[in-house]
Structure 1
Amino acid sequence: MPRTTREPSAAPRFGANYTPSQGWFHHWLDFDIDAVRADLDAIAALGLDHIRVFPIWPYFQPNRTLIRPRAVEQLVALADAAAERGLDVNVDGLQGHLSSFDFLPAWTQTWHRRNIFTDPDVVEGEIAYLRTLAAALADRPNFIGMTIGNEINQFSAGPHPDPDRITREQAEQWLRRVLAACEEGAPGRLHLHAEYDAAWYQDDQPFTPAQAARLGGATAVHSWVFNGTAQRYGREGVATAHHAAYMIELSKAWADDPRRPVWLQEVGAPAPLIPAEHAASFTEATVEAALDCADVWGVTWWCSHDVSRSLSDFPELEYSLGLLTNEGKVKAGGEVLGRLAGEWRGREYAPAVRTTAVVVDDSTAARSACAPGGAVFDAFMGLVADGVRPTTVLASRVGDSAHLAARGVTEVVRPGEVG
């Protein structure tokens, strides 16, 4: 008999990507632990249980052989302040890229231009840096683990204006090495890597779905509907509300472990595609759809606080993504996420098994079929609109009865078969 429900698992975690209210991520240059504590008080008051923290790589490692001890101490102080407020901490290492700005050390640029994924000296510097951060936090009970960096795959291909081009094989070799460095620094923690959706949707992206779904302790999903989803399907479209759930289920096609945890690590309500008056309904619909998927480790909203209007040159949408205003006032989306966190605390988490699977081509050169407007994407969303709860399966696994049984799949649908 096919299974109809999953075994109950730990309730999903709820958290926020911590964007400091004072100075944005430049706060590391003028670190004020009291300002950090005030921000963390506001995040904890929402009922959230963790934060994702972003050291700025060139601020922490301005020279390849200098990892600033004071900066590492400040990171540990932030983690300890979070612990005092019942918040666990995940730390991103290689920042990398944040909110349209690149932050790469001078020792990788211009006169010292070197590929950040393949140059032996640069990679050794990255390994030392990641290992140092992990080791500094290894004895903190509230330390979740390291994320390699924020969407660092954007440096490896277009549309980045000056990419460090690599092959898929080089991307995987690099990922294995930097993940191993995190494990050396903090053995047994949840270490993972996180790409923006080009890894899933862009045919020539060297970071692949298989890497995302098989390397590291969990699969990270960054779901943003400004990628063409909201533009094509509308603010209230089924695809817009279910984009995060779709990415979670798409990751399951590529995973070798049918119970691999998936972390919805970034998701937000970008204006004007999601107007302020609709942020609450979008937040609720997105989270409820995502948690109708099995094996979700947690939901981490982007972001905790709005970006101050005193800071210039951000894309307009970046100023209003917070759960809280820059002054710390709870916004409508923050109220909804806090309420959902409370409702899910202690609740049994056992979504019904998804028995219908849309077939996904194994070729990474066919990833655009999975992107908004692609055949796989539209087939999945068409089934959702018809009341079906679909998942996905690789074409190479359609005939693997053991794989299908392990996932509870009883019906396989090819994209062209969906009206």
Structure 2
Amino acid sequence: MRFGVNYTPTQGWFHHWLDFDADSVRADLDSIAGLGLDHIRVFPLWPLFQPNRTLIRPRAVEQLVELADAAAERGLDVNVDGLQGHLSSFDFLPAWTTTWHRRNLFTDPDVLAGQQEYLRTLAAALADRPNFLGMTLGNEINQFSDGPHPDPDRITAAQATAWLERMLAACERGAPGRTHLHAAYDAAWYRDGHPFTPAQAARLGAVTAVHSWVFNGTAQRHGPTGTATEQHAAYLIELSKAWAEDPHRPVWLQEVGAPAPHIPEERAAGFTEATVTHALDCPDLWGVTWWCSHDVARSLADFPELEYGLGLLGNDRTVKPAGRAIAALAEQWRGRRHRPAVRGTALVVDAGEAGTAPGRSVCAPGGPVFESWAELAAEGVRPALVLAERATDAAHLASRGITAVLTPDEVGGAAGRRGASAPAGPRPSSPSVPPRRSAS
């Protein structure tokens, strides 16, 4: 079982690539290693690494390798996100994709060629490092393809699939055999018509990545200590398995955090412990990577308020209560095999045709699948999820250890019968926060 953190540098946040300070990075990594964690996820800023379509800055790539080597010295493996893309409410796109050079990020041939070479170059630079886990294509890049982004690059689901396959192949050419994957925010699971789909998330790439943020309507509806809130990450892990073709495909809880005010500061440690404990009760979990390592400095302006306090450590590298909770869990699980019991009862997911999931809002907070699953979980059932088209497939059910199947209408309370009463997709965490604030 892997425990790690998304690395947010204390000096300059991700702008630190402009003034790369190896000593500061090493001090940050020392504080991360001090929590007993074993890996980090790092974020090059795409416009800084590839400011022109045919210029990938050698010095920037060298600094990325230097960071990875510093992590190795501290026993930390490294996953690298390539196309940033979007981080903490800010978009970072190179000038050759915007305004006068505006081209679709997912379909323009020149942009595709530039992205491929960039991802291949980063992967190749790290291919000989034993602590290099692999590439994530980009951070929640699906947010550029649809609303509520203010200026989306519209594509179809088929075009999204083609883009994902092409970019994953570029990573594989750069570093064959490593764990290359892609990651989406929860519109892929919850938003009807979104071009990035559950099937893509659960079938393309080496593992399935899920990002769990309870400001999406979950905490607003269920409160900071509600079952649905504390088990939202577990729900997404199990939801991904409904679409997976491999019944034991690994799932990486790649992002999860305790966003205030939905999780009050005094509840952050309790929420952290509960969220991770419930996630660990899901079979085939690869690991947990918390968002994020260090608080954003208050000297930096214009972040949504909740961004400033998400760290396991303060901006001065002191350990916070949530950090102590993660450290204790990492210590508890060190050297142990992850063998949770199978989840024998499955709830049926009827989101329409599996490839495009046109009715996936049934899975969103307020939807019949989500609310019924939460009701069963509150009763201690430990529910799995299964697609309607597989609910009578004896071989599939047996491969997952499922012995009982329920529809939302059969769940005891009113949740399964009232239908979706909340809009699907992401929600603002407060009136001042943009419609999509990726904490990553």
TM class by shorter-chain length? over 0.9
Distance 1:415 1:295 in 2: 25
Aligned to 1:381: 374
Aligned to 1:91: 80
Aligned to 1:170: 159
SS in 2 for 1:346: coil
Task: From 261, 269, 279, give the equivalent of 1:280.
Answer: 269
Q: CA deviation at 1:191?
A: 0.2
Instruction: State yes or no: 1:221 paired with 2:210.
Output: yes
- The 8 Å contact of residues 397 and 403 in structure 1, kept in 2 or not, is answered as yes
SS in 1 for 2:281: coil
Instruction: State yes or no: 1:268 paired with 2:261.
Output: no
Distance 2:71 2:215 in 1: 31
Distance 2:263 2:338 in 1: 28
Aligned to 1:24: 13
Q: For residues 50-69 of structure 1, what are the alpha-carbon distances to aligned partners after superposition, in whole Å with 9 as ceiling and x for unaligned?
A: 00000000000000000000
Task: From 401, 408, 428, give the equivalent of 1:415.
Answer: 408
Distance 2:221 2:79 in 1: 34
Instruction: State yes or no: 1:44 paired with 2:33.
Output: yes
TM-score, length-scaled by structure 1: 0.97
SS in 2 for 1:365: coil
Q: Which amino acid in structure 2 is aligned with residue 309 of structure 1?
A: R
- Superposition map of 1:30-179 within 5 A: 30-179=19-168
Task: From 226, 237, 243, give the equivalent of 1:254.
Answer: 243
Q: CA deviation at 1:348?
A: 2.9
Task: From 171, 180, 184, give the equivalent of 1:182.
Answer: 171
SS in 2 for 1:153: helix
Distance 1:219 1:184 in 2: 20
Task: From 298, 303, 318, give the equivalent of 2:287.
Answer: 298
Distance 2:346 2:162 in 1: 31
Q: CA deviation at 1:346?
A: 1.3
- The 8 Å contact of residues 239 and 381 in structure 1, kept in 2 or not, is answered as yes
Aligned to 1:9: none
Q: Which amino acid in structure 1 is aligned with residue 380 of structure 2?
A: G
Q: Which amino acid in structure 2 is aligned with residue 144 of structure 1?
A: L
Q: Which amino acid in structure 1 is aligned with residue 225 of structure 2?
A: E
Distance 1:398 1:16 in 2: 36
Distance 2:288 2:311 in 1: 15
SS in 2 for 1:298: strand
Structure 1 residues 143-152 or 340-349, which shifts more? 340-349
Instruction: State yes or no: 1:404 paired with 2:397.
Output: yes
- The 8 Å contact of residues 362 and 396 in structure 1, kept in 2 or not, is answered as no
SS in 1 for 2:398: helix
Aligned to 1:5: none
Aligned to 2:196: 207
Q: CA deviation at 1:387?
A: 1.2
- The 8 Å contact of residues 231 and 273 in structure 1, kept in 2 or not, is answered as yes
SS in 1 for 2:358: helix
Distance 1:373 1:362 in 2: 15
Aligned to 1:3: none
Q: Which amino acid in structure 1 is aligned with residue 370 of structure 2?
A: F
Distance 2:375 2:410 in 1: 11
Aligned to 1:4: none
- The 8 Å contact of residues 219 and 251 in structure 1, kept in 2 or not, is answered as yes
- The 8 Å contact of residues 345 and 404 in structure 2, kept in 1 or not, is answered as yes
- The 8 Å contact of residues 264 and 298 in structure 1, kept in 2 or not, is answered as yes
Q: For residues 52-105 of structure 1, what are the alpha-carbon distances to aligned partners after superposition, in whole Å with 9 as ceiling and x for unaligned?
A: 000000000000000000000000000000000000000000000000000000
Q: CA deviation at 1:19?
A: 0.2
Distance 1:29 1:324 in 2: 23
Distance 2:17 2:260 in 1: 28
- The 8 Å contact of residues 351 and 362 in structure 2, kept in 1 or not, is answered as no
Distance 2:398 2:96 in 1: 51
- The 8 Å contact of residues 222 and 267 in structure 1, kept in 2 or not, is answered as yes
Q: How many residues align?
A: 408
Task: From 359, 374, 386, give the equivalent of 1:393.
Answer: 386
Q: CA deviation at 1:361?
A: 1.5
- The 8 Å contact of residues 351 and 361 in structure 2, kept in 1 or not, is answered as no
Q: Which amino acid in structure 2 is aligned with residue 395 of structure 1?
A: A
Distance 2:363 2:351 in 1: 11
Aligned to 1:310: 299
Q: Which amino acid in structure 2 is aligned with residue 58 of structure 1?
A: P
Q: Which amino acid in structure 1 is aligned with residue 265 of structure 2?
A: A
Q: Which amino acid in structure 1 is aligned with residue 117 of structure 2?
A: A
Q: CA deviation at 1:362?
A: 4.2
Distance 1:187 1:162 in 2: 35
- The 8 Å contact of residues 96 and 150 in structure 1, kept in 2 or not, is answered as yes
The answer for unaligned runs of 5 or more in structure 1 is 1-11
SS in 2 for 1:144: strand
Aligned to 2:224: 235
Q: CA deviation at 1:139?
A: 0.1
SS in 2 for 1:160: coil
SS in 2 for 1:139: coil
Please identify runs of 4+ aligned residues in structure 1 that moved more than 6 A: none
Distance 2:23 2:95 in 1: 31
- The 8 Å contact of residues 211 and 256 in structure 2, kept in 1 or not, is answered as yes
- The 8 Å contact of residues 239 and 385 in structure 2, kept in 1 or not, is answered as yes
- The 8 Å contact of residues 221 and 263 in structure 1, kept in 2 or not, is answered as yes
